[in-house]
Amino acid sequence: MVFAVRRVVADYLSPARFDDVLGVATWPERATPARLVLRQQVVRDTRLLLDAQVTLVCLTAAGRVGRFPAALRARVDDSRTDHG
């Protein structure tokens, strides 16, 4: 199984510059048997530079859409309580 990015919706709010120290936070928004939707934010100090939603799919060795392992979905569901 491999994860592939299916879709990205991103709002670029402010540019980053060379040598900036950036913080990146990623957390799950929802999971289905075939998809995992993540929220990702990039900040410099307290300024939000990027707010994105990333949809991942699980692919089998044959390149077909597969199902996320149940244990992974359970961990996503558990971690969602920390972020909303």
- Going from N- to C-terminal start, the domains of the chain cover 2-14+21-83
Q: What is the pLDDT of residue 39?
A: 97
| Superfamily of chain region 2-14+21-83 | Hotdog Thioesterase (3.10.129.10)
pLDDT tens-place values along the chain, 84 residues long = 788 999 999 999 999 999 999 999 999 998 888 899 999 999 999 999 999 999 999 998 888 988 888 787 777 766 665 555
pTM: 0.78
Contact 20, 42 (CB under 8 A): no
Helix or strand run (H / E) with residue 5: strand 2-12
